């Protein structure tokens, strides 16, 4: 079954709105949503991220990568966390995303299909090494 990443995105306005909300309610709503996905057997992974102000950005635009303190130059859309779901289709991933407790100004979820190992050339040395590593760690 394919995997999809649901990426939590926010703006500065979203962050400000969440700061005014009851943290206990946010935790309970998110926990209930996560529990629902666990019970349905679709949740593979999920994590939230620390404040973007504490991030580091590595910019590869020049020959030598440039490292700067984060967040990005403009914080119009921050990446705040993610879920990885194993579902039958993009449509099913969309249905789960529509139920996520992410209400608020500027709050969005981006849904992207995760590229599977089998989609890469299997005769590639590095793909073979990754497959061996995944098999040795029980991921395949």
Q: What is the DSSP string of the chain?
A: --EEEEEEEE-HHHHHHHHTS-HHHHHHHHHHHHHHHHHHT-EEEEEE---GGG-EEEE-SSSS-EEEESS-SS-SSEEEEEEEEE-S-HHHHHHHHHTSS--STT-EEEEEEPPPGGGS-TT-HHHHHHHHHHHHTT--
Q: How confident is the model at residue 137 (pLDDT cuts 50, 70, 90)?
A: very high
Nearest one of 98, 105, 100, 47 to 76, comparing CA atoms: 105
Nearest one of 46, 33, 42, 38 to 88, comparing CA atoms: 42
The average pLDDT across 127-133 equals 93
Residues 3-136: name the CATH superfamily: Dimeric alpha+beta barrel (3.30.70.1060)
Q: What is the mean pLDDT of the chain?
A: 88
Q: For the chain, report the end-to-end CA distance as a whole number of angstroms.
A: 13
Q: Is residue 29 scored above 70 in pLDDT?
A: yes
pLDDT of residue 100: 94
Instruction: Tell me the per-residue pLDDT of 77-99, one tens digit each, with 9 for 90 and over.
Output: 678 889 999 999 999 999 999 99
CA distance 85 to 113: 10
pLDDT of residue 76: 65
CA distance 78 to 47: 14
pLDDT of residue 75: 60
Q: Is residue 123 scored above 60 in pLDDT?
A: yes
Instruction: Tell me the per-residue pLDDT of 59-77, one tens digit each, with 9 for 90 and over.
Output: 899 999 998 887 665 566 6
Are 6 and 109 spatial neighbours (Cβ–Cβ below 8 Å)? Answer: yes
pLDDT of residue 69: 83
Q: What percent of the chain has pLDDT over 90?
A: 51
The average pLDDT across 15-28 equals 86
The average pLDDT across 8-12 equals 84
Spacing of C-alpha 42 from chain mean position: 15
The average pLDDT across 19-30 equals 88
């Amino acid at each position: 079954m394919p995997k999809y990443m649901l990426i939590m995105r926010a703006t500065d306005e979203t962050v400000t709105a969440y700061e005014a909300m009851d943290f206990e309610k946010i935790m309970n709503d998110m926990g209930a949503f996560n529990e629902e996905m666990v019970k349905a057997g679709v949740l593979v992974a999920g994590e939230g991220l620390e404040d973007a102000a504490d991030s580091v950005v590595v910019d590869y635009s020049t020959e030598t990568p440039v490292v700067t303190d984060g967040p990005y130059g403009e914080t119009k859309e921050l990446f705040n966390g993610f879920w990885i779901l194993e579902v039958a289709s993009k449509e099913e991933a969309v249905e789960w995303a529509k139920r996520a407790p992410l209400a608020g100004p500027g709050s969005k979820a981006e849904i992207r299909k995760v590229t599977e190992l089998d989609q890469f050339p299997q005769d590639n040395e590095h793909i073979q090494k990754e497959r061996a590593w995944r098999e040795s760690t029980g991921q395949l």
